[in-house]
Amino acid sequence: MFVRIDLESDVPIYTQLTNQIMEGIATGELQPGEALPSVRSLAADLGINLHTVNKAYTILKDSGFIQIHRQKGAVVQSGGMPPADDAYKERLAEALRPMAAESLGRGMSLEDWLTICRASFEQLKAKREGRPI
Amino acid sequence: MFVRIDLESDVPIYTQLTNQIMEGIATGELQPGEALPSVRSLAADLGINLHTVNKAYTILKDSGFIQIHRQKGAVVQSGGMPPADDAYKERLAEALRPMAAESLGRGMSLEDWLTICRASFEQLKAKREGRPI
DNA sequence: TATGTGTTATATATCTAATATAACAGTTGG
DNA sequence: CCAACTGTTATATTAGATATATAACACATA
**Averaged pLDDT, A13-42:** 97
Interatomic distance B8 CA / D15 C1' (Å): 14
Q: Does A128 contact B65 at a Cβ distance shorter than 8 Å? A: no
Considering all nucleic acid strands, name the nucleotide whose C1' atom is nearest to the C-alpha of residue A5: D19
Residue type, B73: G
* pLDDT above 80 (res A86): yes
For chain A, the structural domain boundaries read 13-76, 86-129
* pLDDT above 90 (res A71): no
- Supply the pLDDT for residue A2: 85
Considering all nucleic acid strands, name the nucleotide whose C1' atom is nearest to the C-alpha of residue A35: C5
- Rounded CA-CA distance B114/B107 in Å is 14
Residues of chain B above pLDDT 90, percent: 92
At A99 the three-state DSSP class reads: helix
Nearest to A107 among B84, B104, B120 (CB): B84
- Supply the pLDDT for residue A130: 85
**Averaged pLDDT, B65-80:** 92
Interatomic distance B51 CA / C18 C1' (Å): 8
At A125 the three-state DSSP class reads: helix
Under the banding of pLDDT at 50, 70 and 90, the label for residue A132 is low
Q: How far is CA B64 from CA A45, A63, B46, in A?
A: 41, 37, 24
* pLDDT above 60 (res B65): yes
**Averaged pLDDT, B29-43:** 96
Under the banding of pLDDT at 50, 70 and 90, the label for residue B131 is confident
Considering all nucleic acid strands, name the nucleotide whose C1' atom is nearest to the C-alpha of residue A47: D20
**Averaged pLDDT, A40-54:** 97
* pLDDT above 70 (res B129): yes
Burial of B108 (0-12, 13-18, 19+ CB in 10 A): buried
Chain centre to alpha carbon of residue A2: 13
* DSSP labels, A9-61: SSS-HHHHHHHHHHHHHHHTSS-TTPBPPPHHHHHHHHTS-HHHHHHHHHHHH
Q: Are A88 and A105 in contact (CB under 8 A)?
A: no
- Supply the pLDDT for residue B77: 96
* pLDDT above 70 (res A10): yes
Under the banding of pLDDT at 50, 70 and 90, the label for residue A131 is confident
- More confident site: B72 or B47: B47
Reported CATH class of domain B13-76: mainly alpha
**Averaged pLDDT, A129-133:** 73
Under the banding of pLDDT at 50, 70 and 90, the label for residue B71 is confident
* pLDDT above 60 (res B30): yes
- Average predicted confidence (pLDDT) for chain B: 95
Q: Which residues lie below 8 Å from residue B35, measured CB to CB, with a gap of 6+?
A: B72, B73, B74, B75, B76
Q: Which nucleotides of D are covered by protein (CB under 7 A)?
A: 5-11, 17-23, 26-29
Instruction: Mutate one of B2, B92, B111 to test the A interface: name it (highest A CB count within 10 A).
Output: B92
